[in-house]
Amino acid sequence: MLWKGRRQSSNIEDRRGQYARRGGAIGGGSIIIALIAVFIFGQDPLVVLQELQQQAGMVETSNSNYEPNPEEQQVFELISVVLADTEDTWNQIFQKAGYDYQAPKLVLYSGMTPTACGTGQAASGPFYCPGDQKIYLDLSFLSELQRMGASGDLAVAYVLAHEVGHHIQTLSGISNKVRSLQSQTNQVGANAIQVKMELQADCLAGVWVNHTQKRTQFLEQGDIEEALQAASAVGDDQLMRKAGLPPRREAFTHGSSKERMSWFKQGLKTGDLAACETGI
């Protein structure tokens, strides 16, 4: 992926120089429970965040001595360029449709951080909070992604583009529609609706790659395979197998590896928002 020397976004709030200490007692066991709730039992990560916040207060403290190492700085620069590309590409798409694009802000943090959706925790993975229209990312997740077999610049870009896809859903009113539909059904039904929303975000990530490639010619050989491997690695069936459990469709919240790769490829191939209709 050709990204060095290109425009970097200014819509980044870097909280890595801050750390959050708890007013109550939430230990490592709660982090493990959060992971299980999100990836295995199909709970919404935003709900898990809110529940953890209710269990303990949190005070954010500045750490002015924080210095990123060279590897962290390179990842920061990569993410800054990718975010800038999402801004430029989605602004172009929105303008062609006669709308103004309001870009999200990306918050980088370490461990824990306050959000409008509750307490952000690294255990929840990257997430988009519609309450403040911000994307939250602990860079340690990218190391975890590598351990899951997904590496490379476009794998990182896919993760961020997926979260920006959720921002597009918020701007278009789809997120509110999804929450309304979920409130009218049981947990299994809500999970099925959530899967459709997540697969649409995967498709929107593919649309972004399609348009950005036409605009910048940023792809190199092997990049698409990196993104597909990332989509596969975070499929619900893969995550359940890694946890030593048999995949249970009714517990899926993001879709299977095959589905996630398929919808990303759908957006990549067509570059058409209309092709991202997942039945929501």
For residue range 242-251, what is the model confidence (pLDDT) as tens digits?
A: 899 999 999 9
The pTM for the full model equals 0.85
- Specify the pLDDT at position 40: 46
The fraction of the chain above a pLDDT of 70, given in percent, is 83
3-state secondary structure the chain: CCCCCCCCCCCEEECCCEEEEECCCCCHHHHHHHHHHHHCCCCCHHHHHHHHHHHCCEEEEECCCCCCCHHHHHHHHHHHHHHHHHHHHHHHHHHHCCCCCCCCEEEEECCEEEECCEEEEHHHCCEEECCCCEEEEECHHHHHHHHCCCCCHHHHHHHHHHHHHHHHHHHCCHHHHHHHHHCCCCHHHHHHHHHHHHHHHHHHHHHHHHHHHHHHCCCCCCHHHHHHHHHHHCCHHHHHHHCCCCCCHHHCCCCCHHHHHHHHHHHHHHCCHHHHCCCC
Are 9 and 87 in contact by the 8 Å Cβ rule? The answer is yes
Over 70: is that where the pLDDT of 239 sits? yes
For residue range 20-55, what is the model confidence (pLDDT) as tens digits?
A: 555 444 444 444 445 554 544 445 655 555 555 544
Indicate the pLDDT class of residue 211, thresholds 50, 70 and 90: very high
- Specify the pLDDT at position 190: 97
> What is the rounded CA–CA span in Å between residue 149 and residue 232?
9
- Specify the pLDDT at position 78: 97
For residue range 146-186, what is the model confidence (pLDDT) as tens digits?
A: 888 888 999 999 999 999 999 999 999 999 999 999 999 99
